[in-house]
Structures are given as C-alpha cells and as structure tokens.
C-alpha cells in the first residue's frame, strides 16, 4: 500500500524536453545514493457526533529521514533503506514529542521502489491515537503490529501533556485529556486513523504510467483500498529550486462497497501534486485528502489530512 513509499534517486540528466513532447515519467536510482527528505503530515480528526464526550484532535507530525539506495536491479527497481533522524509531534498546537533516538524495531525501514513509483515496504512506521485516547508509536511488519502495548491514563482529566518513548516496546505514550474509556461498546467500533511517519499515503497514489504522456494528457488507474485516481501530466515546472516534470493527481472514492467491509469501506478523495526533477528524484509533493468512514449505527468518522514532502539539498 502507500504502495508507495519512497522516492529518490538519480541518474544521468535527461535531455531538455520540448513543449508538447511526450514524457515518460519515471524515478531513477543510483546505487550508493543517499537522499534526505522532510515529511510533514497534519491530521484533523472529527469523531461521530453521537459521541458528545469524545474530543476531536489535530496532530502535526514532522519527520526528517534519509534514504540510502543499496542496489538497483536490471529492471531499474531500487532496494533502499530509510533511516529516521528526527521526529517532532504537536497535538492541538502543543509539542508533545521531539525525538532523535528511535526504538530498535524502527532503526531502519527497507523498501523496493520501482521506476513507476510502485513501492513495497517491509515495515511501516506510524502513529495512532487509540480508542483509549492515547498516542501510540507503532512499527508494523508484514501487516502485523510489532509494538502496540500502551499504558492507560488514570486519574483526573487535568493531565500535563507529556510524551514518553519506550525504546524497548517502541511506543510514545501520552495522556490525552479527557481519556475516554471503553465502557461503552460503541466506542470499540471506532476506527483508528494512522499518521504516517513515512510518506506512505503519497506513494500509494504515485503509480505512474509506463508510456509517455503529452502535456495535459491523463492516466487513470485504480488505487487499492482507496478508489480511482486520475493523473495529469502538467509539463515542465520549477519549484523550490528544482526543475522537472509536474504532475497532478485527483483521487475519487469507490462507488460500490468492498466485499467484507460493508459500511466500514472508507471514502477517500483529494489531490496531490508532485515534481520529479530532471535526474529522476522526487523533489517535492504536497496534497490534501478527505477520509470518511461510516460506522454502522453510529455515524461518520472524518479525517482531513495535509501531506508534504521536500527533498533537502
């Protein structure tokens, strides 16, 4: 899934593209290359209106990380390793974490990235606010969570916000007042919204065509679990000091329910633009996503997400 996760790399500079000339969008990789990125994700969560006592929240996450290209195969796909350097987290405008040391389980994330952006991650690294109202740092491996234990907050609602990283368990623990209990069975039906510490969502909808596109030409493709995307090549652009190919992606949700998911099928729509520079590196991407999950008998959970990634020079 975010299928798609990390970018990078470079190769020989491509010839100048003339206006209107079709372009094949592709990432290019070079063994031994190290690229440094800053990733930002902001999530504003609104719980179902039925739960008057359950607060919404805003989480701002900033991650500095580097990507090392270990090898490039004959198909130009790269085996890479992501190394996290710094993580800062703000909840409702208050900083609750500033970390430069990470659990052993998250000391690196391996991935394979194809030239068309399709990415396989062997670990995912994210935050989640659990149903008890606490912020958890998690590492998943092959879809299974490796670090999910947490300590429930106890006492009055007048907590002092404080983050604590358990290096052994791989968890950031925080009391988020008011901490809600699970005494009401309906609370257990709520879904957790994950906040990426790697640009998983960006790469999930970064799959590019394998044929050249002319300026203004579109390319449509289904996105697993999310919906249908329409990619539009917008021609050459210059942004944040990088020159390259500018692309706009619009995402629309599925119109039919997925088998086995019923009312919990998420509706996701939004847009993401990205710039691939002339050497094949992802130089800049930003976008917004609207996610709505209808919980049967309860109502919608809504998350508004802003995403941005920038290559550090």
Confidence (pLDDT) at 229: 86
Domain count, the chain: 1
> Beta strands 144-145 and 135-141: pairing type?
antiparallel
pLDDT tens digits for 173-196? Answer: 443 333 445 456 677 677 777 888
pLDDT tens digits for 299-312? Answer: 888 999 999 999 99
Does 22 fall in a domain? no
223 contacts 229 by C-beta, under 8 angstroms:
yes
Confidence (pLDDT) at 158: 33
Burial class (CB in 10 A: 0-12, 13-18, 19+), 249: buried
Does 221 fall in a domain? yes
Does 27 fall in a domain? no
Domain assignment of residue 152, given as a range? 34-312
**Residue 234 is part of a domain; what is its CATH number?**
2.30.230
Confidence (pLDDT) at 183: 54
Does 29 fall in a domain? no
Does 102 fall in a domain? yes
Give the contacts of 91 (CB within 8 A, at least 6 positions apart).
57, 58, 59, 60, 135, 161, 174, 176
CA-CA distance, 31 to 11, in Å (whole number)?
A: 10
The DSSP result for 18-61, as a single string, is PTT--B-------TT-EEEEEEEEEEEEE--TT-TTS--EEEEE
Give the contacts of 213 (CB within 8 A, at least 6 positions apart).
22, 23, 24, 25, 219, 233
> Beta strands 119-121 and 109-113: pairing type?
antiparallel
Confidence (pLDDT) at 63: 94
Does 14 fall in a domain? no
| pTM of this structure | 0.79
Does 304 fall in a domain? yes
CA-CA distance, 147 to 141, in Å (whole number)?
A: 10
Does 132 fall in a domain? yes
């Amino acid at each position: 899934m975010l299928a798609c996760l990390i970018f990078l790399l470079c190769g020989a500079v491509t010839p100048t593209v003339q206006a209107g000339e079709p372009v094949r969008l592709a990432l290019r990789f070079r063994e031994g290359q190290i690229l440094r990125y800053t990733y930002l994700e902001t999530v504003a969560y609104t719980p179902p209106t039925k739960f008057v006592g359950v607060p919404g929240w805003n989480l701002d996450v900033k991650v500095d990380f580097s990507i090392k290209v270990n090898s490039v195969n004959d198909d130009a796909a790269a085996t890479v390793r992501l190394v996290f350097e710094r993580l800062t987290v703000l909840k409702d405008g208050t900083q609750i974490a500033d970390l430069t040391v990470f659990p052993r389980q998250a000391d690196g994330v391996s991935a394979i990235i194809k030239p068309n952006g399709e990415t396989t991650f062997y670990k995912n690294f994210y935050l989640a606010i659990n149903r008890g109202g606490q912020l958890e740092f998690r590492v998943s491996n092959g879809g299974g969570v490796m670090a999910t234990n947490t300590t429930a907050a106890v006492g009055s609602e007048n907590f002092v916000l404080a983050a604590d990283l358990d290096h052994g368990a791989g968890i950031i623990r925080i009391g988020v007042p008011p901490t809600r209990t699970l005494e009401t069975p309906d609370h257990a039906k709520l879904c957790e919204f994950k906040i990426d510490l790697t640009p998983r969502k960006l790469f999930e909808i970064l799959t590019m065509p394998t044929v050249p596109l002319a300026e203004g030409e579109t390319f449509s493709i289904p996105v697993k679990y999310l919906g249908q995307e329409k990619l539009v090549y917008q021609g050459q652009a210059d942004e944040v000091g990088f020159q390259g190919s500018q692309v706009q992606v619009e995402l629309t949700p599925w119109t039919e329910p997925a088998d086995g998911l019923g009312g919990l099928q998420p509706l996701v729509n939004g847009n993401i633009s990205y710039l691939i520079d002339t050497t094949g590196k992802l130089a800049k991407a930003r976008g917004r996503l609207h996610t709505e999950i209808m919980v049967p008998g309860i109502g919608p959970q809504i998350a508004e997400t802003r995403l941005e990634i920038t290559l550090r020079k």
